[in-house]
Structure 1
Amino acid sequence: MAGSSAAGEFPKFTALRALTGSATPHVLVKFSGADASPTVTRWADLLVCEHLALECARTLPGIASARSRILIQAGRTFLEVERFDRHDRLGRSPLCSLDTLNAALLGKTPGDWPTFADALVAAKWLGDGDAQRRHHLWWFGRLIANTDMHLGNLSFQPTQGRLCLAPTYDILPMRHAPLAGGELPTDEVEPPLPLPRQRAIWLAACQAAVEFWSRVGADTRISEGFRRLGLEHGQRLQTLAEQV
């Protein structure tokens, strides 16, 4: 709905469901359209990509991510994401987006995640380890073509006067999302390269990104055209990793 606090490109709804083995009954569900047009197909592909990206992000050092699953029904693809800001049936857990923390504590002009993470460390709100984890995640996002890493898509959990990194959420290759008029982007995506001091973090992120693109290329829930694109991205990154 317009004005929803859970904004974004996908329509979505919240739900309460019982599922054996889940950490919480609370979920946020994104879903695609029901037709087979190229635009709807691409959005459906990206929902599966978000699920795969959340899984691959957990291979990065110290990174946790929201648990998710894909459901396909009546021509629609649904991405169900467990909410880590809820507990038990009625409990709410504290969570602060980086956007809110910037307004309250830093007052910086918009920038990238590492810049703000380093500023929170300097202000003693965040430990060095959490800042380092966000550097890994930021590079992973860039290497999977995530162009939507704004300050609302990174959050922290307050505990004992400090901030701890919250699980990762809403991470997917938005560079490949349909354009405003419904057309699919066709231009080449060049993977970013690191500065010498960033090499170790870049290589760790690249390994996770290669795994992500490999899974995209093998997942039959994704359209054939986008699977080919995933394999191409993975091969290009693998070649770069051997040269960096």
Structure 2
Amino acid sequence: MSVNFDISKKVPVNDMGLENLLYEPKGNVGVISLNRPEKRNALSRGLLMELTGFINELALDKKVNVIIIKGLGKTFSAGHDLKEIYESDPQEVLKLFQTCYQTMQAIREISKPVIAQVHGVATAAGCQLVAACDLAVAAEDALFGTPGVKIGIFCTTPAVFLSRNVGRKKAMEMLLTGDLISASEALLHGLVNKVVPLENLDSETFSMAEKIAGLSASAIAVGKRAFYQQLNMDDFQALNYASEVISLNSTTRDAREGIGAFIEKREPKWKD
């Protein structure tokens, strides 16, 4: 899907020909809001297509260094739209999951960090979305789960990113029982980075994003790609790859500026 977005101001994305998102640029941070509160921000195929297109568009926006994904209303996201699945034939259901694949791929491949801001519940594909983001901040009352097994659908696709965030035993417990876990458990097991009071969720998430956005965008782009690449390698293959990456990274303008600033005891001036 190719869509031209006007991302210069806060605007309902339906004014851009879309229906399921809101967007607000805040300095070098772009905030995307899932905007289906009446459906608990269910990840319909339409929403996923819009989210993928918008993330790909933000990849080209040099003003945005970090992206936040949040949900409007009482919840982050309750997962896929079950009515959409129930009323579709197998080929249409496959298209839905392929579209979700493309969204997760866009989050992984964009050079900019993506932070999930979670309140309410994040279940099934909603939990998958949290796990696929690079970082996650949760409200104290947030709940996480993969409850598909309770309605006869094992959460196979959410299991992919869930199992890459938390330990195998905990992942299987969540998948086999369908039980929800608290924000504090999610923090303990590595699904989120930080748990804060609900009233501080916006400010704490933005503070994390703003801190990262103030660093070298080129270094972060290199680092994000290398981090995920090396996860699939054995230890010394990964170390060899990382050595090549850091050697090249050390020759960039931002690296030279950062080292020079450190030696000269001044703040670095990163390339725009």
Fold shared, TM-score > 0.5 on shorter chain: no
Alignment TM-score, normalising by the size of structure 2: 0.28
Q: Specify which structure has the bigger relative contact order, considering alpha-carbon pairs within 8 angstroms and separated by 6 or more residues.
A: 1
Structure (1 or 2) with the larger CA radius of gyration: 2
**Which structure's residues are more often helix, by fraction?**
2
